[in-house]
Amino acid sequence: MKLSSEIEVLRDTVPNKSAEELIKELPQNATMRDIFDFCKRNNIHSLAQGMIELPPPKKLRDIAATICAGDENEIHQYRNRFGEEDYRDALVTLMQKRYEAPHITRDHILATAGVTGVLCSVLIYLKNEKGGSDKVRDLGLIVPFYTYHAKQITDVFGRTPVYVSSKEDFTPDWEAIHRALFEGNGLDLLIVTNPGNPGGNLWARDDLEKLIEMTGKAGCLLLMDEIYCDLIWREGYWSPVQMDKLPKHVIVARGFAKSLAAQSWRCGYAVGDPEMIDKLMKIHDPIYISVPWLQHAIGRYITNEYEDFDRHIKETGDLMQNNWKILAPAMQKALGWTPLEPSGSMYGMFYHHVSTDKEAIVHGLAKGVGVAPGSIFWPNNPDNTGYVRIHCGVSHEKAKEIVAALESAPNK
């Protein structure tokens, strides 16, 4: 299907705009943000963006309001370079009570400006440690990958990552991983997202332990993006933080943008060997100056309202799973897409069975819902990966509205 005929499918859904206007608003290489903006302008539901549409817990917001309106004036000054004690101590509590990592201490934790703060600090540390970009070996991403990981590598090093393929079910392709680590230039960094984005897949413990061993032998840093570690949809999740001793080459990045819906708060953290944490602090601090004062609110919420934190995490996970349970069959019926059951994160993927990802997107829009193309999560934005992705971080009422729109949309 050519672009012009793709756009024609939308003429009934957006009748007040010409084909030329629609083509301009929905470019051939449309990103998830382009699709979200298109949906917002044209009053179409969007599940394209990775932006959770739920509020933070009420008790957390109350704590933040009390802190901000109170007399603790020093909170508005630059904060401790490693993160404030109440925040880091709360994270130690989480390690002990929730993540089965009793050996993690305050010295293993660096407060960061979200998970992005960890990634950028690691990239710049590696560049400085090796004596410049040209001294750094290749930097690897497991495919499919989070789009900004690729962008940040390219921005810091001026070159694209090495893309390491997965098997069709998103489990590790060990031959591809071995080639990347031990053949050619080799890798100085490998980034793995677990649970996966976009796939919602979980790495098995045995596989992660094997990967940790292989990267260690190859002299390669392993950065685990675990932003979705609280949004697990089945048993079997395991993290390197649970090891008796976290290897020096392993760095774990986490945050609360998704689990607490605190996306603009920019409060994340790195977990690593204390020596590495000290090195990363010296990179992170001059760039971000300090983590926002909202770290105090999160710290006190976890420490004083742990039961509410635990309840919120469970309810958020249940909500997303229930949304998936109604959205997946509705999309399959209305669009012919085959759902791939996720094991965690806030996403779900579909095989779309049409000629291009763009064609699948347009068909979704014509039925009243925006989705993300698989192409943005694969190297070089191929025309057809066979996949699209949705997010499930919406109210159940909105999910039901989308189901109703899909059921009522005419066939085209």
Average pLDDT of span 213-242: 96
Average pLDDT of span 98-110: 96
Whether residue 390 is predicted with pLDDT greater than 60 in this model: the reply is yes
Please, which pLDDT band fits residue 292 given cuts at 50, 70 and 90?
A: very high
C-alpha span between 52 and 45 (Å, rounded):
14
User: DSSP letter string over 268-320?
Assistant: EEEE--HHHHHHHHHHHHHHH-S--THHHHHHHHHHH-HHHHHHHHHHHHHHH
Average pLDDT of span 139-163: 96
C-alpha span between 267 and 289 (Å, rounded):
13
Q: How distant, in Å, are the alpha carbons of 330, 359, 372, 393, 406 from that of 396?
A: 14, 28, 20, 9, 15
C-alpha span between 255 and 227 (Å, rounded):
5
pLDDT at 32: 87
C-alpha span between 40 and 33 (Å, rounded):
10
Which residues in 42-76 are b (16+ Cβ under 10 Å) and which e?
bebbbbbbbbbebebbebbeebbeeeeeeeeeebe
Are 177 and 207 a contacting pair, CB within 8 Å?
A: no
Sorted by where each starts, the structural domains of the chain and their CATH numbers stand as: 3-54+310-408 (3.90.1150.10), 78-304 (3.40.640.10)
DSSP 3-state helix, strand, coil percentages of the chain (rounded to 5)? 50, 15, 40
User: DSSP letter string over 351-409?
Assistant: E--SS-HHHHHHHHHHTTEE-EEGGGGSTT--S--SEEEEE--S-HHHHHHHHHHHHHS
Instruction: Write out pLDDT tens, residues 71-103.
Output: 888 899 999 999 999 999 999 999 999 999 999
